[in-house]
Chains A and B, each alone.
Chain A
Amino acid sequence: MADAQGYIAHAPGYVLNEGPKIVTSRFPYEDSYTLERYLATGGYEGLKAALARTPDQVHAEVRDATLLGRGGAGFPAGTKWGFCPPGVWPRYLVVNGDESEPGTYKDRLLMERDPHQLIEGCVIACYALGLSQCFLYVRGEMALAQERIATALNEAYAAGYVGRNILGSELSVDVVLHWGAGAYIVGEETALIESLEGNRGMPRLKPPYFPAAIGLYGKPTIVNNVETLANVPWILVNGAEAYKQYGSESSPGTRMLAISGHVNRPGVYEVPQGVVTFRDLFYGDNYCQGIRDGNALKTFIPGGGSAPWFFEDQLDLPLEGRVVGAAGSMLGSGAIVVMDETTDAVRACLRVVRFYARESCGKCTPCREGTTWEERILQRILDGEGRPSDIDKLLDVADNISPGPDPVAAWEAEGLPAIPFPPKQTTICPLGPSSVAPIASAIRRFRPEFEAKITKRDSIPVMAAGGGA
C-alpha cells in the first residue's frame, strides 16, 4: 500500500498520514473506483439512508453539518441549497470538476479514485432538492477521471443507483458526464454553466449572485465542487453531529490540501479543517516535514494562484477561512505552494500573472487588456529591459483592474492594518483581479528584487528625471 513516505503508487501524490479520513478513506485500495469495492466498503449506504427520510430531512442534515464549499469560496452548501426559488422547475445540479486553479490537486484524485462516492453524493443532493438532472462537468484534460466516471456511471445505472426509479423508489435522476476542453475560467460557476450550454465559457453578470436562482437554461441550478459533494454520503451515513466532531466549530470536517513546491514531502493530505496551522503543515512530521535542503521559507501561496501571498509572519495562522481572509488572503481551493529562499520573486510573480493573462476569457476590458499588459511589463523587467517607471506603472495598471488598496499580508508585516480579502474589482469575475495578487504581494514585499533587475541595465534610458523615485 503506502511506501515509507506514506505515498500510494496508484494515487500519485496522496499521502496516507495520521488523522481522520472522510473522503479519501478508500484511496488505499487499488480497485477503489469499482462498484464492487465501493459496495464492499459501505458504498451507497448514504443514499439508502437518505431515501429512508424525506427530502427536507436530508437537506436539513447537510445544513446542520455546515458543509463548507470546497471550490474556493467556502460557502456552506446546505445554505446554498436553500436558495432555489420555490415552485420553479426544473432544477439542475452541476458538479464543478474543472479543477484548474494553480496549485490545486484534489478533485482529480477524488474522481479517479472514488467516482462512486461522488455519484452517490450527487444523487443524494438531487433527492434532497428535487433536482431532476445532474451534469458532472469534468475538466477536459483529465482523461482518466472521465474514464473512471463514465465506467462508474455505467455500473451505477445498471445496478439501479442512478437513472429510473433509483433503488426501486420513485426517485428518477439522470447523471450525465460532461467534459470541458481547456479553459480555466470555466471553473467559475456561471462560466461553467455557459460552457455546459455549449457556449464560450464567459462568466455571466451578477446579480443574481448564485445560479441557484437563474442557472443552466435559465433555471435554478446548484453548482457544487467535487469535494463538497463527495462529503455528502458520509454525512448521511454518520450524521451531522459526527461530522462536527472533526475540525473547528465554524469549519467542521476535513478538507483535502495539496501542498507543493519546496517542501520535503509535497502531497495531497486530508486534514481536519480550521485547526492545523501552516507551520504544522510545512514543518510537522505528519505533513510536509520541512522545507527542502533545510532552506528558509521565502513566501507561500495559501489558497491557489489567486490568493495573495503569505510570509513567515502568517505561519501560525490556522487554516480557517475567516482568519486567513482577515489577514488579507484566502484558503481558496486548498492549494498551498511553498517557495524557499532561492526563489526568484520576479520570475514567480511573472509566472502566476502569465497564467491569468492566458486564461482571461476576454469579456472585460480591464482583464483582457490589463493582464496581458502586466505580463509584458514583467517580462521586460525579467529580461533586463525594464524601465524605472515600470514598477509604479505596473501597480497602477493593477489598480485599474482591482482598484483601491490591495489585500496583501505585507500590510500587516509593515505594521499597517490588514486589508481583508476579497479585493475590489472593475471586472465581472475575480479572474482579472487575481492577477493583481502576485504583483501586489511580490512588489510590496520584494520590491528591491524588482529594482535590482531594472537598475542592472544601465543602457536603458531612464524616462524622466526622478522617474524611478
Chain B
Amino acid sequence: MRFTAENLRIAEEIVARYPLKKSALIPLLHLAQEQDGWVTNEAMEHIAELCEVTPAEVIGTGSFYEMFKFHPVGRYVVNLCTNIACQLLGAEELLHHAEQTLGVKAGGTTTDGLFTLEDVECIAACTEAPCFQINYRYFNRTTPEAFDEVVAAIRSGKDPLASHGNSADPGPLPPHGTLARTRQSIPADRLGGIIPPEEATEPVWLARNQQGDAANG
C-alpha cells in the first residue's frame, strides 16, 4: 500500500527532519510496516518517491535489516533470544518448546496468521535470560509455562504485557509494525533549523569562545 493521507503527512514530517532526504529511508520503512504489518512493494515505491531514490535502493537498504518483512507475518512476532547469555539459561530448550506450542519452526507463521516465531540474536536483556520479545516488547526471565500463558493470553484477547511483561513497560501491546507509541514531533516555532549540509556555516554560539578568550585574556 502507498501511505494513507495521515501517514503521508507523518512521512513528510520525518523527511523534513533530515538534512538529506535519503536519511529518512529507514524510518519510512518502519512507518510502512506500521501501516500494513509488513513492507509492500507499493510502499517501497512510495518511499522511493519521497526520498528521491530508486525503488531498488529502497529494497537494497531495507533488506539489509532483519526487522523489515517483505511478506506478510503474524500480528504478533515473537523474537526469542538464543544468544550466549540466554543459551546458558535454557533458551534453546525454550525455543524448542515454543516451536511445539505454536506448531511452527523458527521463522514460521502460524496458520491463523497470529504468530510468527523467530530465533534471534541478543536483545539486550542478558541479565533477564531467558527472554523474548513480542512486537519488540520484553518478557523477562521466562519459562516454558510462562511462554504458554502469554500465548494463551493473546489468543484469548488479553494484553500479555499486563500479566507477563515487565513493569517497566505499561503496554498495551501494539500489533506488529508499531514500535514507539509516541512519535517525535518538533513544533515549527521550536525548530533549531535543519538545512542541507552544504548550506551550513559556523554556529553562532561559538563566537563566545572569542568573547570568553577576550574576557579571560
Is A in direct contact with B (CB under 8 Å) within the complex? yes
Q: Which residue of A lies closest to B87 (CB)?
A: A351
Flag if A261 contacts B190 (CB, 8 Å). Answer: no
Binary interface profile of B, 59-72, with partner A (CB < 8 Å = 1, else 0)? 01110111110000
- Asked if A141 meets B136 with Cβ closer than 8 Å, knowing A132-B200, A164-B191, the reply is yes
- A337 in contact with B122 given A157-B186, A348-B88 (CB within 8 Å): no
User: Is the Cβ of A176 less than 8 Å from the Cβ of B180?
Assistant: no
B126 touching A102, Cβ below 8 Å: yes
Nearest residue (CB) in A for B91 is A351
Residue-wise, chain B 117-131 has the 8 Å CB interface mask toward A (1 for contact) of: 000011111111100
- Checking B192, B205, B212 against A174 with a beta-carbon cut-off of 8 angstroms, the contacting residue is B192
Q: Which residues of B contact A89 (CB under 8 A)?
A: 200-203
Candidates B26, B61, B87; contact of A348 at CB < 8 Å: B87
Taking a contact as CB atoms under 8 Å apart, the answer to whether B186 and A163 are in contact is: yes
Tell yes or no: A206 within 8 A of B by CB: no
B212–A56 touching, CB < 8 Å: yes
At the interface, yes or no: A260 with Cβ under 8 Å from chain B?
yes
Q: Say if the beta carbon of A108 comes within 8 Å of chain B.
A: yes
- Among A63-71, A142-150, A271-279, the stretch that binds chain B is A142-150
Q: Closest A-chain residue to B174, C-beta based? A: A143
Who on chain B is nearest to A340 by CB? B88
- The answer to whether A108 and B124 touch (CB under 8 A), given A146-B180, A163-B192, is yes
Question: Which residues of A lie under 8 Å from residue B129 when comparing CB positions?
Answer: 260-261, 266
A268 within 8 A of B: yes
Of the stretches A17-25, A75-83, A193-201, the one at the interface is A193-201
Min Cβ gap A39→B in Å is 18
The reply to whether the CB of B194 lies closer than 8 angstroms to some CB of chain A is yes
CA distance A260 to B112 in the complex (A): 36
Contact between A258 and B205 (Cβ–Cβ < 8 Å)? Answer: no
Q: Which residues of A contact B201 (CB under 8 A)?
A: 89
Which single member of B187, B197, B211 contacts A157 (CB below 8 Å)? B187
Contact: B88 with A262, CB < 8 Å? yes
Which of A9, A143, A196 is close to B166, meaning CB atoms less than 8 Å apart? A9
Query: Is A127 on the interface with B (CB-CB < 8 A)?
Result: yes
Q: Does B109 contact A (CB under 8 A)?
A: no
Complex contact A347–B138 (CB within 8 A): no
Contact check, B181 vs A147: say whether CB atoms are below 8 A apart. Answer: yes
B205–chain A nearest beta-carbon distance, Å: 5
Judging by beta carbons under 8 Å apart, are A182 and B128 in contact? no
Which B residues are in CB contact (< 8 Å) with A222?
A: none
B46 contacts the other chain (Cβ, under 8 Å)?
A: no
A290 to chain B, nearest CB (A): 16
Are the CB atoms of B166 and A130 closer together than 8 Å? no
Q: Does A204 contact B (CB under 8 A)?
A: no
Q: Which residues of the other chain, B, contact A458 by a CB distance below 8 angstroms?
A: none
Inter-subunit contact A158/B190 (CB<8 Å): yes
Selected contact of B168 from candidates A10, A90, A104, CB within 8 Å: A10
Contact between B83 and A102, CB atoms less than 8 A apart: yes
Residue of A nearest to B25 (CB): A198
Establish whether residues B179 and A143, one from each chain, have CB atoms under 8 Å apart when the complex forms.
yes
A132 to B205, CA, bound (A): 10
User: Contact partner of B23 among A140, A198, A355, CB < 8 A?
Assistant: A198
Contact assessment for B68 and A181 in the assembled complex, using a CB-CB cutoff below 8 Å? yes
Residues of A within 8 A of B (CB): 9-13, 53-57, 87, 89-90, 99-105, 107-108, 112-113, 127, 130-133, 139-144, 146-147, 149-151, 153-154, 157-158, 160, 162-164, 169-174, 176-184, 195-202, 217-219, 258-262, 266-268, 301, 305, 335, 337, 339, 343, 347-348, 351-352, 355, 358-359, 361
5 smallest CB-CB distances across A and B, nearest first, come from A54-B212, A181-B65, A90-B200, A198-B25, A198-B22
Name 27 A/B residue pairs within 8 A (Cβ), A-sorted: A9-B168, A54-B213, A87-B202, A89-B203, A102-B84, A127-B205, A130-B203, A139-B124, A142-B124, A143-B136, A147-B179, A163-B190, A163-B192, A164-B191, A174-B17, A174-B186, A176-B184, A181-B29, A181-B68, A195-B26, A197-B22, A198-B20, A200-B60, A201-B64, A259-B127, A337-B84, A355-B84
